[in-house]
Structure 1
Amino acid sequence: MHNQQLKQILAVFKQDTWVRPFMKKYGKLLYLVLFLGFMTLFCGSALMFTSGFLISKSASQPENIMLVYVPIVLTRGFGIGRPAFRYVERLTSHNWVLKMTSDLRVRLYRSLEKEAVFFKEKYKTGDILAVLAEDIDHLQNLYLRTIFPTIISWLIYIVVIIGLGLFSVPFAFMMLLMMTVVVVLMPLVSLLVNGVKMERQKTARNHLYDQLTDAVLGVGDWLFSGRREDIVSSYEDSERAVRKDEYQIKRFDRMRDFLLQVFFALLAVVVLIWTSFVFKGNQGGAANWIAAFVLAIFPLVDAFAPIPAATSELTIYKDSVKRLNALPEAELEDTKPTSAAVALSKETFEELKVNQVVFSYEPDTKKVLNQLSLTVPKGEKLAILGKSGAGKSTLGRMIRGDLLPQSGSITLNEVPVQQLGEDISQWVGVINQSPHLFNTSVLNNVRLGNPSATDEEVIKTLYQVGLGKMIEQLPDGFHTVVEEAGGRFSGGEQQRIALARILLQNTPVVLLDEPTVGLDPVTEQTLLDTLFDALEGKTIIWITHHLQGVDQMDHVVFIEDGQVAIKGTPHKLLENNPRYQKLYKLDRGENQDAERGR
């Protein structure tokens, strides 16, 4: 089991494509960090060595001050060098890590943005919270607490063994074996014993994120079912399990650290015995060297003590690296619009064209869209209908450039929408099923569509959508806070505020993605009338699942099996197309009424 765990850790880090690229990108700075870390520990040990020699030599009352002049200079040099190197090493290592984690965060956010429209389908909210809240920090600690200290300690280890070998090869070999206990055996034991507990604890913490999001998102259902105490009790049980693992981890850490201190005390005794034999014939100078070698051991505690604790955390880092590598690839370079896209102006919009588009969410699966073609000229109002899963919303995401077709193209004035980059927001405005309203004033929420708009322009759009008079009469007027997620206003009013944003944004194309879902029929029809009146002259693409208000559209398209099954004006389809006539009757419940009449 332990061998399998080690193989899994090695495999994850070997296949890593997130962290390793930055090792090369900031390679020079990394080497500088390692050098400074080595020099910090070397100066610390050398300071104790020269200090021990100097104190012992001075106590023997040397005949000439020149006999201790060199140790004095070295002591001062190493004394100044140790904190200086330490300070610069801390600055450099944190600079390196912050550069790397900054790039990692950018890559992470772009990766999540790439999959933003599929969060509900592909990821649990708790997992995303774990990635954002912990994984990047874990990778930061991977370098600061594990990689850097371990590499520096191994460098010190090699230098110590080589240095001792200059005096005595057998003793150097014996120290090689003894120090292997600290640099190899104890880290391995920590990894196998504590690493399992840490991995279990991290998994439990991630489960806590899942429980927390479930509790928050489903709080209403818990309260209505009268089981509030159950969710609180369940969460507390999970927390107790995490704390139990944490206690066991800390208990093992305390025992290991105690054994580590005992081991270094034993090491100092061994060095004391060895030096007493090696330098016994050196008369008065023997004590000088004995003191120097023994005191030089103690700074090594700073070099080797962190290794076991750091190594045991590899299982945590393994999980973070694995989770990040499971995310979709995302480039660090900014995507810039092409010169053709930059040259476009939304005032010159002529048509939106969907040409032979093919799309599927997974390879070798059913095509959601299959050779779909549409042309929407300037000023046209098009309704796109279809049953659930027909590809309506997928097409809407592709028009926005959030998804790319496997083949075919979607263009605005013959420019592919993906080439517009973030400038797509100047061309296509979206009102979806649940527009998000922020916990700030009505003015600020609407101004999101155009941050440079004046208060007068914002208020004008609110009157256009039929909210001006109502909001003006509120105690705080247009400065009324909408509350979190727009709780201050009804569903229909929230949609009107979203419409005001779009009017302020002033895009030539407006995509309506089922904005009336969840509204009662009267409110729905009133909102549709407001939408179409306010958006007069705009190119409207309305994604909907039923036919209320479709008679106000110029054309209707029904998508089935990824292709256009029905196409035409609503009036001609109602007159001549039997299938559309049947859908029209079903939508209004006429068939059900006829059945009840029988």
Structure 2
Amino acid sequence: MTKLKTRLRRDHWLVPYLKTQKNGLFWSILLAFLTTFAAGALMFVSGYLISRAAQRPDNILLIYVPIVLTRGFGIARPIFRYAQRLVSHNWVLKFVSKSRQRLYESVASTASSIRGQLQTGEILSLLADDLDQLQNLYLRTIFPLGAGLVLYLFVSIGFGIVNWAFMLWWLIMLTIILMVVPVVSFWANRQRVRRQKQLQAQMYTDTTDAVLGLQDWVLSGRQSDLMTRQGRVMADLSQTKHQGMAFGWWRDFTIQLLVLILAVTTLFWAGHQFAGQKIAVNFIAAFTLAIFPLVDSFLGVNQGVSEASFYEDSLQRLNELPVPKVSDAPVATVTDATITLTDVTFRYNQQVIIDHLNLTIAPGEKIALLGRSGSGKTTLLKLMTGDLTPATGQVMLGQHPVAQLQSQLASLVAVLDQQAYLFDTTIMNNVRMGNPSASDEQVKTAIQKAGLQPLIDSLPAQYDTKMQEAGQRFSGGEQQRFALARILLQDAPIVILDEPTVSLDPRTEALVLNQIFNVLSDRTIIWVTHHLTGINHVDRAYFLAEGRFTLADTPQNLRANSAHFRQLLALDNFH
């Protein structure tokens, strides 16, 4: 309980929205209560009406009021239910919309570091699962729990007016149904829910990475291993869900049994309370029948609280994401795209990754960063884009520290890496992601500049062709050209090429590189690569080792003056 209080006190996703949107929360809970109240009142009045009508009243006017009330509550129940759905879903959709925007901003602000820690499937799991859990937290837990507590107070007060002794019995039973059973259910179901979420996250990860790496599985002849692995996870998940359903059945059965005990004791109490009174005896059926519509509310509270453990790790994970910083300072106008690193040092766990590095990249200049895996190339890119902060030194973009330009970095820097990140939608929609406000003509122009027009013309649906998940319909070279078209549409002055051709065959690699450097001739290009194919496209090449540049010159000078460079070039040409 202490841990839960601490989490809620530090929460900046759930609690702040509840505080600022109190009116919507109030009306959602009130309308949920009124729905249950109307259903209970309908059964109460109907029970009284049936019982009173069986006494053959001398005057029809004696049952006229119950008839009108029956019609009124019968109409009120669906109206309240519809209004509650309308208000609660509108409230939740607004919350999810704002949360999704915040989540994307948080992920985008640390995209490089997140991608270094998580697989693609894990990021998709984060986005898909946590947002859904937050939505269900309100609809399935907070709203039913709030309405259940209001109902608890209302019923207790109602019985207290009639008979305080029987009110204590109802308080005890309702406490068991609405508090004890949900809490016991929550703790008993907690480990199973965690196991289910772990398996779901693993399935997201494995499935996404299997789709993106399907070609590797096929080429290695390990299709059966892939199917076995996926089947094992799905079987474990199915078994865990079956256990959860069985637990839910027993929980609901227990509640139904408690409600039955409550109904039987209410029947005996009403019979004793109103026996011998000609008019009041009709309340025996009224009080007894009024219990049964409450069952849905009881079940809703128990189910919602039992599932609350679904949301624990989602909230924890979301709260561990950085809060996007909103600065009151005016947005800086960047007119100079010069990148300057001055005496930059970066350490990770006391290990020096970048060591007192100096580098200046002029606007429009093309450079290549080369080095072995672990030499610091990726770290250097993160320093240039402000994803990492140097221990010493400064990284500038024009006249501004790059760390102060995070809110507008997407308009200044574009990234083309190994994975094109294409989605199962049309070609137009995929390319338009580079600039959502671009016109159809601008999108088509970017596609044409990327050298894709002959391909588009050969497709029956042309620009409306579905690309399939991860762009599987097209070859690796074509996927990179589509990603290039997206960058052309983004129109950022600086483009980072993070080994975009590493998975392509030599001929396709050469064609794609020619296309990239040709259409981006007016942009600054920072090309991270591990070999020298296409090195003549750049103005300068930098070899990084142990956090320092061991070689730095034009390809022509390096070819003439560096035996090591010539040796590497010969190896690349041999392969």
1:300 aligns with 2:294: yes
Cα deviation, 1:347-376, whole Å, max 9, x if unaligned, reads xx463333444545x6x5435335543333
Q: Does 1:149 align with 2:153?
A: no
Match of residue 24, structure 2, among 25, 29, 46: 29
Deviation at 1:521, TM superposition (A): 7.1
Q: Name the residue aligned to 2:351.
A: 366
Kindly indicate whether the alpha-carbon contact (under 8 Å) linking 1:495 and 1:515 is maintained by their aligned counterparts in 2. Answer: yes
Matched, 1:314 2:301: no
> Structure 1, residues 233-271: CA drift from partner, whole Å, max 9, x if none?
343343333333333333343344334333323322211
**Which of 41, 48, 52 is the matching residue for 1:46?**
41
Aligned match of 1:185: 180
Q: Say whether the 8 Å CA contact 1:442–1:478 is kept in structure 2.
A: no
Question: Contact between 2:370 and 2:544, CA under 8 Å: does it hold in 1?
Answer: yes
- For 1:487 and 1:66, the matched residues in 2 are separated by 75
Distance 1:278 1:487, change over 3 A: closer
Structure 2 CA distance, aligned partners of 1:163 and 1:178? 15
Structure 2 residue matching 1:176: 3-state secondary structure:
helix
Question: Which one is further off, 489-498 or 72-81?
Answer: 489-498
- 1:3 is matched with which residue? none
What is the RMSD of the two structures over their aligned residues, measured on CA atoms? 4.4
- Cα distance in 1 for partners of 2:444, 2:18 equals 53
Letter in 1 for 2:165: P
- d(CA) in 2 for partners of 1:222 and 1:472? 27
The 8 Å contact of residues 156 and 171 in structure 2, kept in 1 or not, is answered as: yes
Superposed displacement of residue 523, structure 1 = 7.3
Structure 1 counterpart of 2:285, from 284, 291, 294: 291
Q: Work out whether 1:122 is the aligned partner of 2:112.
A: no
Fraction of identical pairs, as percent: 41
Give, in angstroms, the shift of residue 30 of structure 1.
0.6
Q: What is the SS of the residue equivalent to 2:256?
A: helix
Unaligned runs of 5+ in 2: none
Question: Could you say which residue in structure 2 is the equivalent of 1:324?
Answer: 318
Aligned-partner Cα distance in 1 for 2:362–2:13: 44
| 1:389 corresponds to which of 365, 374, 378 | 374
Q: Are 1:354 and 2:341 counterparts?
A: yes
Which of 243, 246, 267 is residue 272 of structure 1 equivalent to?
A: 267
Shift of 1:145: 1.8
- Once the two structures are TM-superposed, the CA of residue 122 in structure 1 deviates from its matched residue by 1.0
- Per-residue CA deviation, residues 492-528 of structure 1 (Å, 9 max, x unaligned), is 6766676676667665444444455466778767776
For residues 151-196 of structure 1, give each alpha carbon's deviation from its aligned partner in whole angstroms, at most 9, with x where no partner exists: 2222212222222222322222222223333223332443344444
User: Contact 2:125 / 2:205 at 8 angstroms: preserved in 1?
Assistant: no
- Quick check: 1:472–1:478 contact (8 Å CA) kept in 2? no
Give 1:39 deviation, angstroms. Answer: 2.2
Q: Is the 8 Å Cα contact of residues 447 and 485 (structure 2) preserved in structure 1?
A: no
Shift of 1:530: 6.7
Q: 2:565 aligns with which of 584, 587, 593?
A: 584
Change (3 A) 1:152 1:79: same
SS of alignment partner, residue 351 of structure 2: coil
Q: 1:340 — aligned with what?
A: 332
How far apart in 1 are the matches of 2:303 and 2:392? 52
Residue identity matched to 2:239: K
Within a 5 Å distance, the mapping from 1:248-267 to structure 2 comes to 248-267=243-262
- Map 1:157-168 to 2 at 5 A: 157-168=152-163
CA gap of 1:254–1:213, structure 2 versus 1, over 3 A, is: same
Sort the Cα spacing of 1:212 and 1:159 in 2 relative to 1 into closer, same or farther, 3 A. Answer: same
Q: Which moved more, 1:487-496 or 1:116-125?
A: 487-496
Q: How many residues align?
A: 567
Give the alignment's TM-score, normalised by structure 1.
0.77
Whole-angstrom CA distance in 1 between matches of 2:211 and 2:354: 36
TM-score where L is the length of structure 2: 0.80
Aligned partner letter, 2:360: T
Q: What are the within-5 Å matches in structure 2 for residues 543-554 of structure 1? A: 543-545=528-530, 554=539
Q: CA contact under 8 A between 1:57 and 1:288: conserved in structure 2?
A: yes
- For residues 238 and 444 of structure 1, do their structure 2 counterparts lie closer, same or farther at Cα, with a shift above 3 Å needed? closer
Max radius of gyration: which structure?
Answer: 1
SS at match of 2:332: helix
> 1:541-574 deviations in whole A, cap 9, x for unaligned?
4444456666775555444544556555666777
After TM superposition, the structure 1 stretch with the greater mean CA deviation from structure 2, 111-120 or 18-27, is 111-120
CA contact (8 A) 2:29 2:146 kept: yes
Q: CA deviation at 1:213?
A: 3.7
Unaligned 5+ segments in structure 1 are 1-5, 594-598
Which residue of structure 1 aligns with residue 361 of structure 2? Answer: 376
Closer/same/farther in 2, CA of residues 187 and 413 from structure 1, 3 Å limit: closer
Q: Return the alpha-carbon distance in structure 2 between the equivalents of residues 65 and 491 of structure 1.
A: 83
Task: Say whether 1:415 aligns with 2:400.
Answer: yes
Secondary structure of 2:155's aligned partner? helix
SS in 2 for 1:305: helix
Alpha-carbon offset, residue 123 of structure 1: 1.5
Cα deviation 1:53-75 (Å, max 9, x = unaligned): 34444544556666556555554
Q: Residues 7 and 309 of structure 1: is their aligned pair in 2 closer, same or farther, counting only changes over 3 Å?
A: farther
**For 1:390, what is the secondary structure of its paired residue?**
coil
Q: CA deviation at 1:91?
A: 1.3
Cα deviation 1:41-97 (Å, max 9, x = unaligned):
223323333343344445445566665565555545444433332221221111222
